[in-house]
C-alpha cells in the first residue's frame, strides 16, 4: 500500500514538472500535503507555495519556502527552488513513508536525527532494510521497501523526476 501511495505522488510530480503546459514547482512536498482518495491513491495537494514557469526557462524564485527537513540543501544556500528541489523533498517523503518517522527528530541519537543522513549511513553499511518502519512487522514486500529506500536516497542526491518515474513504474532494475 505504501508503494502505491508513493507511485501516485511520484506521478503527480512528473506531471507537474514535465507534462503540464508549464513547469509547476510545488515547493512543499511533504507527507501532510499528500491526501488519499477513496481508492487510497496518493494525491499531492496544497499548492499555496507553488510557482509556475515555462518549459526551458529558468525559474525565478528567491524566497526560502518549504518545510524544514524536506528542503533541498541548495535552497537554504541560494533561496532558489527547482524541479530538483521538489524531487529532493519527494525523496525525503519516500524515506519518511518507508521508515515511519519524520525527516528530523531531535530526540533521537545524534547519528539518527536527520532521516536522510541516517538512511544513507545505514545503506553504506549494507543495513538499509534495518531502517524500515518496525510497525510493519515483516508484513511488507522486502523488494518494494528496498526499492523505496534506495530510490528515496537517489532523489535526495540529485535525481531527475523522469528517472524516478521510470523506477516507480519498474522500467529499469539498476538500483
Catalytic residues, by residue number, are 28
Which cell numbers hold the place of 102?
A: 519524520
Task: Give me the half-sphere count of Cα atoms (radius 13 Å) on the Cβ side of residue 108.
Answer: 13
Tally of residues, the chain: 175
Q: Report d(CA 56, CA 40) in Å as an integer.
A: 34
Q: Report d(CA 20, CA 168) in Å as an integer.
A: 20
Q: Which of 122, 148, 150 is nearest to 9 (CA)?
A: 148
Question: Which neighbouring-strand residues pair with 24?
Answer: 52
Alpha-helical regions (H) of the chain = 2-14, 73-78, 83-99, 115-124, 142-155, 161-168
Q: Which of 42, 26, 3 is nearest to 88 (CA)?
A: 26
Amino acid at each position: 500500500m505504501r508503494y502505491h501511495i508513493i507511485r501516485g505522488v511520484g506521478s503527480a510530480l512528473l506531471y507537474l514538472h514535465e507534462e503540464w503546459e508549464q513547469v509547476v514547482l510545488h515547493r512543499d512536498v511533504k507527507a501532510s500535503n499528500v491526501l488519499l482518495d477513496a481508492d487510497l491513491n496518493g494525491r499531492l495537494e496544497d499548492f499555496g507555495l507553488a510557482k509556475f514557469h515555462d518549459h526551458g526557462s529558468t525559474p525565478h524564485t528567491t524566497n526560502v519556502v518549504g518545510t524544514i527537513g524536506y528542503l533541498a540543501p541548495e535552497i537554504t544556500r541560494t533561496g532558489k527552488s527547482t524541479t530538483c528541489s521538489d524531487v529532493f523533498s519527494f525523496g525525503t517523503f519516500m524515506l519518511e513513508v518507508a521508515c515511519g518517522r519524520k525527516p528530523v527528530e531531535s530526540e533521537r541519537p545524534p547519528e539518527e536525527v536527520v532521516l536522510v543522513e541516517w538512511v544513507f549511513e545505514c545503506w553504506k553499511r549494507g543495513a538499509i532494510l534495518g531502517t524500515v518502519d518496525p510497525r510493519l512487522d515483516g508484513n511488507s514486500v522486502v523488494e518494494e521497501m528496498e526499492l523505496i529506500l534506495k530510490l528515496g536516497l537517489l532523489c535526495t542526491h540529485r535525481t531527475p523526476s523522469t528517472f524516478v518515474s521510470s523506477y516507480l513504474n519498474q522500467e529499469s532494475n539498476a538500483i
